[in-house]
Amino acid sequence: MGDIYGGGGPTLTGTYLAVFWTHFCGFDISTAQGIIGGAAVVSAVCAILFGLLSERFYLYRLGRRFGRRRFFIMLCSPLVLVTLLMWVPGLPQPLYFVLYVLYIVLLQMFGVCYAALPGEMTTDFAGRSMLSTVRLLLSGLSTAIIPMFASWVLSHLGEGNAYSYQLFATIVTVVFACVTFASSRLTWELTPEEAGFGEAELARRRAAEAAHRRTLREMLAAAGRVAREYASTFHIATFRIHITLYLICLTLQDMFTQTFVFFVLYDWNKTAAFASLLLSLAIMAEVFKPLWGWLFIHIGPRNLYAVCYTGALTGLALLFLAWRTVGVLGGAAWTALAVAAFLVWCVFRSLSGTLPWLIFPFIPDVDMIVTKRNRASIFSGITTFLRFICTGLASIACGAFLAATGFQPNHAGVQSAGAQAGIAFVCLGWSAIGFLVAFVISRRFALDQRGDLMLLHEIDRLKSGGSKDDADPEVRETVERLTGIPYDQCWR
């Protein structure tokens, strides 16, 4: 249930916050996008800190009582309610920035800890895929239901009233608080002993920390070790490809979400309620989630990436066609084209967001054959950090670009041709270029079910005292292909 918040949180603010701020809080587009982007960049550092803290939280009494992952998930529940102040007009602009930073920090804290759970709750390939598929199904449902609910509220209460936005934002945020608390109580994770924090290790670490207070030099050295820990994730070839595809697709999805309502308002000349109605059609994509999970197991990630990017590019082309035929096609025909185009796009956009998280639980397996450790939260931390850095920079660039084209957001104004083209380029053009690049990169992705099973068997053999000299040649080749590291340098 937690991914109702994990998927719905970015949808709520990404789709409606910039519109609310520009319409009711006196922001221009560059300031609104600048706050959103700047907050994401500033708070991205927290993903690194939460990854490290979550990894070591079993050292502390709170962690051993509530869990090193679930404690932070539970903490999101009350704090997310504070961020409702973002939806109150008339506050100082720095306060909006602080509140949005808090909102993003909470999403990061949740994402770092929650993403580690499927890999810890089971080691079975199909089991992990099932867990990831179900959580992504709920995430996708939330991204569809939130716009559907918003469309209903805006249609009945009117788009010109701040309280219309405040009503659905409040109800959705309360739901976020409920599901994060529930998921902190209904999941499980590695025990301290399974995670390498048994009593002996705990005593050794505490004794080392109590031996002396760290000097500034020692603290800087420790910070350097943390930086090297995160940098070492890029030694893994599979992770390098995975993170590149993830950042391209998720960053562009964020940009699409942030500009789509503007695209509908000023390029299609429709209402925000119509935009929300289209966004709610994303619920149709959830029908395909079980199919994606089945295909992930049976045709492998690389082939599914090809299906994903081809379909996404087709959807973007149809959305572009709908823009160019506004006023040319009749009302019913154009609406049918717009709906069909968005359905194609949202189905494959959903897959592009689903695939990286289906793959993520297996990345620590590839790393473990090298480092002998399960570093799931380290990978989750660096992934979240880079995502928000990229999203923040892209948001700032988006706002600056739209302002440069002459875009002036308001309720009833007609934008210039340059501004309309700028909105379309940010919403559709950037995504099309990104998905083309991702398609090319995805052809190098090699991890599949057979390869992961080989890794797990080899890890078990080495844990049992097996010699690296006795490794099967095919296993050696698979390990080297997935890690990008010579086999003899693995299992250090």
Q: What is the DSSP track for 265-302? A: HHTS---HHHHHHHHHGGGGGGGGHHHHHHHHHHT-HH
- pLDDT per position as a tens digit, 402-414: 888 888 765 456 7
The whole-angstrom distance between residue 200's C-alpha and the CA centroid of its chain comes to 37
Cβ–Cβ < 8 Å for 113, 75: no
Give residue 212's pLDDT.
55
355 or 204, higher pLDDT: 355
- pLDDT per position as a tens digit, 196-236: 677 776 777 666 666 555 666 776 777 787 788 888 889 99
**Residue 353 pLDDT exceeds 70:** yes
- pLDDT per position as a tens digit, 267-307: 888 887 788 788 878 778 878 888 888 888 888 899 999 99
- pLDDT per position as a tens digit, 368-387: 899 888 787 788 778 878 88
On whether the pTM is more than 0.75, the answer is no
- pLDDT per position as a tens digit, 296-352: 888 889 999 999 999 999 999 999 999 988 877 777 898 899 999 999 998 998 888
Give residue 205's pLDDT.
67
What's the rounded Cα separation, in Å, for the pair 350 and 332? 27
Q: What are phi and psi of 153, to 5 degrees?
A: -65, -45
Cβ–Cβ < 8 Å for 312, 341: no
- For residue 214, the 8-state DSSP code is P
What's the rounded Cα separation, in Å, for the pair 68 and 184? 11
Q: Is the dihedral of CA 42, 396, 232, 367 positive or negative?
A: positive
**Residue 107 pLDDT exceeds 80:** yes
Share of the chain above pLDDT 90, in %: 18
**Residue 151 pLDDT exceeds 70:** yes
